[in-house]
Chain A
Amino acid sequence: MNFDQIHVKAETESGYLSDNSSINVYISSRADDSTVREINENFQNNKNNLNFNIISAGSPGYFDLDPIVIIEKPGNPLILYSKFNPNKVSEIIKDYLLENNPRSDLALCTLGQEKIENIPCIDDLPFFNIQNRIILRNCGLVAPENINHYILRGGFRGLSEVLKTDQAGAVDRLEKSGLRGRGGAGYFTADKWKSLQEQEGNEKYIICNASDSDPFSFTARILLSGDPYSVLEGMLISAYSTGACKCIITVDSEFKPDTEILASAVDRMKEYGLFGNSIMDSGFNCEIEIIESAVSLPSGEETALLRKLENKQPMPFLRPPYPEKAGLNGKPVIVNNIETFANITAVFQFGPDKISGIGTERSKGTKIITLAENGSAKYIIEIPFGTSLKTVLENYKSIVKDSGNIKAVQFGGPTGAYFLPDADIAVDYDEINKISVIGSGTLEFIFDTECAVETAMNKMIYLHDQSCGKCVFCREGTFQMAAILEDIAKGTGKPQDIDLLKEIADQMKTGCICQLGRTAANPVLSTLQLFRNEYDIHLKEKKCPFNRQ
């Protein structure tokens, strides 16, 4: 099937999505299952004679507002109802779907530009409006496994375009976007493409790390359960552009539902001739394989991931050899994370300007950020590079009133540095990498009732636990720091401990094989810098000023 035929098929099967005379009810599936099921059933059972489509969509990422229902009614903008109650289903059907009362009392906002009385547009809502949702555009608005939905929202157009160009043209296009890998260090994606392209033969692979190795981060899960095709399309585009013959996508074996969605998505692609032989009748052949595996913090490292795919113990290895030369069983590969592939799709669907037009000088496009409090994710948002942490936090505070006084925020996952809430630091690879990491892009708060030493200690205990144990500075360094911090927290620390902490931290930065170890000291160094007085009080008064120990 060529793209046109594919499009026709999608229209025939799921035309309601693009036809502006249908009523569509999108129910976000992320919330507590039973409630969502109840909402779903109530919509089904109260249909009466009214004709509307119920779509089990992925989550838009606003977990704090779950359950979320989005209603699309001809003539009106989409309305997002938050914290939706199953009991309200019959009311909304009666009032909004039958009559024309959008029930502003239940609504959060409208999506898109048009306005409805008494319901704010999302662009006018603080916090939500700092976003630019390119990668998450479909999350909440398509049934994730439904290929027709994806196609009707513009999917596979990018692939069909790229199949008409040559590889050099494709790399050019990607280069123009300025896209940098969303995984760790932020390599320019086009550079990786070029390296892979240069390798002889077609036994090259495109590998997508589609698991969140940072447990607080939700990037992979939100995309897999919300818009999996956008990732798969990005992989195919990469494969074509680099001459690779196979795409491998690795998922966390603990998240079965996400994997099932992905698996059925791949099946559907086969039906549409979107993988296997002669994709879109173009002569381009490519396989897709899904591999499930257990996830830990270091397993997200690209070299560790490759070992895992070789059925070896997932441990980071020294580079060189670089994966683009010899990665998987000696064959060249590109490893990118899931967000990068979704970005690639966007570049080819909307053009490179869509990405390059946003962000900073050297960090283009957007970044998906997870905001977590007390160990659970509350919001997953997508902000343009260059947005400062301060902006994010101020906006967040303005909508989440019940949270305590934020003392500091850790940005970048478990190995990220802590920042003060008013830190005027932009989310930008070059700027953040100077002090810390962008990592998983998670923002986690600590409140002013929490002890900085204890916080750092807990991070070190966690990181020591996560360390794969291979290199001495990571394994023993995290252990030492945890042990020293424990002493300080208990009031048994010694004055020279601070120097020892710094010495170990300093050596770890260059002495570890992988990013985890190299960045693991960030929480200690940053709390030392921000809250040195707390450390000193512990040492001098031999007890915790917060009376935590």
Chain B
Amino acid sequence: MSTIKFNIDGKDVEVRNGRSVLEAALDSGIYIPHLCYHEDLSPIGACRLCIVEIEGMEGLVLSCSTPAAEGMVVKTGSESIDASRRLAMELLLAGHPPDCGTCVKYLNCELQSLKQYIIGDHIRVRTRSKLIPVNADNPIFLHEPNKCVLCGRCVRACHELRGVGVLFYKKQGRETYIGTENGLSLAESGCRFCGACAEVCPTGAIMDKEEFAKGKSRKAALVPCRYACPAEIDVPKYIRFIREKNYSAAAAVIREKVPFPGVLGYVCDHPCEDVCKRGEINHPISIRNLKRYAVEHDTEKIWKEKSRKKDATGRKAAVIGSGPAGLTAAYYLCKQGHEVTVFEALPQAGGMMRYGIPEYRMPRDILDGEIKIIEDTGVEIKTDSKVESIDNLFDDGYEAVLVAVGAHKGQKLRIPGARSEGVLTGLDFLRDVNLGNEVNIGKRVVVLGGGNVAFDCARVAKRAGAEEVHIACLECREDMPASCDEIDQGEQEGICLNPSKSFKRIINEEKIAKGVEFLDVESLTFDEDNLPQVEVVDDSEHILEADTIIFAIGQQPDIPEEFDLDKTDRNLIELDSYTFETSREGVYAAGDAVSGTASVIEAIASGRKAASIIDKFLDGDGRIDEKLAPEAELQKCLGPDPDFAAMDRVEEVCVLPEERLMSFCRVVDEMDEASADYESKRCLQCDLRLSITPVKFWGNY
């Protein structure tokens, strides 16, 4: 790269060619005030703060738009520079509200910083309030035109950087402000909600609405999906690859963080979708389905090319439990070069993924395939091997042990009749079905509980031959904890919902359950300790007859006393949340056994963390992150799209209820390519904004 030498304020500096005087100065650590200039945008010379004197040039010169040239002699301060800059600053502030303290941008505002640098507090010109109303009607962004100093950065960002071009200089009365054509909403005018405008705005005039930023790190605020994901899967990146129809690359992005991409495509509870910014416009991106689509169309498996296993370390680690947490940890520990054995009490590996989740929600071949990959990496899985004592493992030469036994013990309410024959816990029931055991549940089944497990039980019961299946729960219909999909699909399959019921007792005859007695719930609240406070309707007792009653009200880990681990009052393993260490040295824990029932993705994330910590314990570097996907070429120019905001979420297509009840086949059909393409195009690409060069304040020079 060619460079040029020039002199600025008596200092000889050398900078790369092709930079403006301003850029050259900033590059060499010399501050020149500037406002309308932004590294990523073309200079427009609007604010006049960047003026300098250059030998041989007449008058004051705009440093932002004058190319630095060999041998130039530049002066950044003089009486006339200061006078002119001062007036420019005063004029910029003439219509700007004076009370910085009340602004959200306080201390983060370039204008405020410039004001301090250039003039302090004294303003000679006439000040005014512009009285242009705040516009909070758009999703995501808040426009406060009174704070705008018309630097035009947002306009250039929208036009030049993004090629969208919906922001313009506008007039209202005598005031200029930044707005859309004909006062249309951002959505109507074709905004892509990329946030470039808010990113470059030096003042508080265009900002993300406070609810998105408050209490969050910058990254979590800007790219919520990725940072809401417990494993921090780079969501926008793989969606971008899907848009490019590069499914293998997309799958590789997911693989960088999780060894169960396929499983997640079916059963992830997608916290990313809950925070997806697209949801502010209409509906969140169907992230889970896109994931499934990418993984199932990953024909080239390019992730394998870059997937590395380190040389053997000769160190041994044992993992107890082959659920998502245990297998994830085992997989990454194995890739770090350790010898890993997984002990599983049940006949097959997979934990809850196999014994908790019904097959219609996740086909078993997917799970088997992903476990196979883990085994192929070198993890040894011993099934039908219940670990009785950790000491034995240490005796066998394992240096570290991860307890990832999950939460497999179903709970029953202590109500009369709960011990009757025909009263089951949900987990036992599901495990039996998934083990292929004969289940005898009769014609009428009542499931007690309103969460996803309750729905799993009810729907499995239906498939196992029950004719009439009820779900009863304390919560009212709207507050049922199960996901909407589950509830909808359950109802389609003919499950009867009985919300707002308190369970009084199980009716039995000769210890054989015959039904449940309910009371109607008048109100349900939670006290400070999050314990339910139920008020029932007097004299509302009624009975629902049943052959089988299934409690699906939660589960706990079942940690053998012989493990000799401290436990919490909720029967969970006591853990140092930072080191992941239990009360015994060399013994770590992860997954539901630590957190109580959580999601697959949380278990995976916890397995990853445990792997990294155990690796360090085994003298590794703890770095389990992988780069499996190619770098994505960021298409920073989005172009206008008047229909963008209106693009609606591609809804899942379900197999017809009559058909799906015939078997344990999957319920949700695959997306077709057109839908995947469409859905991926709906993404706002929130991460694009991170590629905009951040601005340094004068204090940093």
**Which of B46, B84, B91 is within 8 Å of A513, CB to CB?**
B46
Tell whether A479 pairs with B65 under 8 Å between CB atoms, given A470-B44, A470-B169, A473-B88: no
Across the interface, do A500 and B169 meet the contact criterion of CB distance under 8 Å?
no
Across the interface, do A483 and B126 meet the contact criterion of CB distance under 8 Å?
yes
A435 adjacent to chain B (CB < 8 Å): no
Residues in B156-201 with C-beta less than 8 Å from chain A: 159, 165, 168-169, 171, 174, 176
B537 adjacent to chain A (CB < 8 Å): no
A98 adjacent to chain B (CB < 8 Å): no
Across the interface, do B88 and A500 meet the contact criterion of CB distance under 8 Å?
no
B124 adjacent to chain A (CB < 8 Å): yes
Q: How far is the CB of A327 from chain B (nearest CB, A)?
A: 15
Chain B hits for A507, CB < 8 A: 84, 87-88
Which stretch from A49-57, A311-319, A408-416, A533-541 is at the chain B interface? A311-319
Across the interface, do A470 and B152 meet the contact criterion of CB distance under 8 Å?
yes
Across the interface, do A476 and B152 meet the contact criterion of CB distance under 8 Å?
no
Residues in B86-123 with C-beta less than 8 Å from chain A: 87-88, 91-92, 94-95
Across the interface, do A500 and B124 meet the contact criterion of CB distance under 8 Å?
yes
Across the interface, do A318 and B44 meet the contact criterion of CB distance under 8 Å?
yes
Chain A hits for B91, CB < 8 A: 472-473, 476-477, 480, 504
Across the interface, do A318 and B87 meet the contact criterion of CB distance under 8 Å?
no
A475 adjacent to chain B (CB < 8 Å): yes
A126 adjacent to chain B (CB < 8 Å): no
B586 adjacent to chain A (CB < 8 Å): no
Number of interface residues of B (CB under 8 A): 33
Task: Give the CA-CA distance A471 to B36 in the complex, in Å.
Answer: 10
Q: How many A-B residue pairs have CB under 8 A?
A: 82
> Which of A317, A464, A476, A510 has the most chain B CB atoms closer than 10 A to its own CB?
A476
> Which of B45, B92, B128, B168 has the most chain A CB atoms closer than 10 A to its own CB?
B45
Chain A hits for B44, CB < 8 A: 317-318, 470-471, 513
Task: Give the CA-CA distance A352 to B570 in the complex, in Å.
Answer: 101
Residues in A468-516 with C-beta less than 8 Å from chain B: 468-473, 475-477, 479-480, 483-484, 487, 500, 503-504, 507, 510-511, 513
Across the interface, do A469 and B60 meet the contact criterion of CB distance under 8 Å?
no
Task: Give the CA-CA distance A469 to B60 in the complex, in Å.
Answer: 21
Q: How far is the CB of A456 from chain B (nearest CB, A)?
A: 16
Task: Give the CA-CA distance A474 to B428 in the complex, in Å.
Answer: 78
Task: Give the CA-CA distance A483 to B90 in the complex, in Å.
Answer: 15
Across the interface, do A476 and B169 meet the contact criterion of CB distance under 8 Å?
no
B257 adjacent to chain A (CB < 8 Å): no
Tell whether A480 pairs with B125 under 8 Å between CB atoms, given A315-B169, A469-B176, A470-B152: yes
Q: How far is the CB of A468 from chain B (nearest CB, A)?
A: 7
**Which of B60, B84, B124, B176 is within 8 Å of A475, CB to CB?**
B176
Across the interface, do A318 and B174 meet the contact criterion of CB distance under 8 Å?
no
Number of interface residues of A (CB under 8 A): 30
Q: How far is the CB of A156 from chain B (nearest CB, A)?
A: 42
**Which of B62, B149, B168 is within 8 Å of A313, CB to CB?**
B168
Chain A hits for B168, CB < 8 A: 313
A465 adjacent to chain B (CB < 8 Å): yes
Task: Give the CA-CA distance A431 to B47 in the complex, in Å.
Answer: 31
Across the interface, do A313 and B95 meet the contact criterion of CB distance under 8 Å?
no
Q: How far is the CB of B637 from chain A (nearest CB, A)?
A: 15
B237 adjacent to chain A (CB < 8 Å): no
**Which of B43, B88, B128, B165 is within 8 Å of A511, CB to CB?**
B88
**Which of B43, B169, B174 is within 8 Å of A479, CB to CB?**
B174
**Which of B87, B150, B174 is within 8 Å of A470, CB to CB?**
B150
Across the interface, do B48 and A472 meet the contact criterion of CB distance under 8 Å?
yes
Across the interface, do B48 and A473 meet the contact criterion of CB distance under 8 Å?
yes
Chain A hits for B84, CB < 8 A: 507, 511
Q: How far is the CB of B23 from chain A (nearest CB, A)?
A: 15
- Interface bits A305-324 vs B (CB < 8 Å: 1, else 0): 00000001101011000000
B71 adjacent to chain A (CB < 8 Å): no
Across the interface, do A469 and B48 meet the contact criterion of CB distance under 8 Å?
no
Task: Give the CA-CA distance A513 to B44 in the complex, in Å.
Answer: 8
**Which of A470, A472, A483 is within 8 Å of B88, CB to CB?**
A472
Task: Give the CA-CA distance A469 to B168 in the complex, in Å.
Answer: 11
Which A residue's beta carbon lies closest to that of B152?
A: A470
- Interface bits A510-527 vs B (CB < 8 Å: 1, else 0): 110100000000000000
B694 adjacent to chain A (CB < 8 Å): no
Task: Give the CA-CA distance A468 to B60 in the complex, in Å.
Answer: 23
Across the interface, do A312 and B159 meet the contact criterion of CB distance under 8 Å?
yes
B532 adjacent to chain A (CB < 8 Å): no
Task: Give the CA-CA distance A312 to B640 in the complex, in Å.
Answer: 13
Chain A hits for B95, CB < 8 A: 476, 479
Task: Give the CA-CA distance A488 to B250 in the complex, in Å.
Answer: 68
- Interface bits B39-82 vs A (CB < 8 Å: 1, else 0): 00001111110000000000110100100000000000000000
Chain B hits for A483, CB < 8 A: 126, 128
Which A residue's beta carbon lies closest to that of B126?
A: A483
Q: How far is the CB of B163 from chain A (nearest CB, A)?
A: 12
Across the interface, do B126 and A504 meet the contact criterion of CB distance under 8 Å?
no
Chain A hits for B165, CB < 8 A: 312
Which A residue's beta carbon lies closest to that of B65?
A: A318
**Which of B60, B124, B128, B169 is within 8 Å of A510, CB to CB?**
B60
Across the interface, do A470 and B92 meet the contact criterion of CB distance under 8 Å?
no
Across the interface, do B126 and A484 meet the contact criterion of CB distance under 8 Å?
yes
- Interface bits A403-442 vs B (CB < 8 Å: 1, else 0): 0000000000000000000000000000000000000000
Task: Give the CA-CA distance A476 to B165 in the complex, in Å.
Answer: 25
> Which of B62, B88, B91 has the most chain A CB atoms closer than 10 A to its own CB?
B91
Across the interface, do A472 and B92 meet the contact criterion of CB distance under 8 Å?
yes
Task: Give the CA-CA distance A479 to B92 in the complex, in Å.
Answer: 11
Chain A hits for B43, CB < 8 A: 318
Chain B hits for A504, CB < 8 A: 87, 91, 125
Across the interface, do A469 and B171 meet the contact criterion of CB distance under 8 Å?
yes
Task: Give the CA-CA distance A447 to B87 in the complex, in Å.
Answer: 35
Q: How far is the CB of B278 from chain A (nearest CB, A)?
A: 29
Chain B hits for A479, CB < 8 A: 94-95, 174
> What are the nearest 9 A-B pairs in CB distance?
A469-B176, A476-B91, A483-B126, A471-B46, A318-B45, A469-B169, A511-B48, A480-B125, A472-B91
B interface residues, Cβ below 8 angstroms from A = 43-48, 59-60, 62, 65, 83-84, 87-88, 91-92, 94-95, 124-126, 128, 149-150, 152, 155, 159, 165, 168-169, 171, 174, 176
9 CB < 8 A contacts A-B: A461-B174, A471-B47, A472-B48, A476-B91, A476-B94, A487-B126, A511-B48, A511-B84, A511-B88
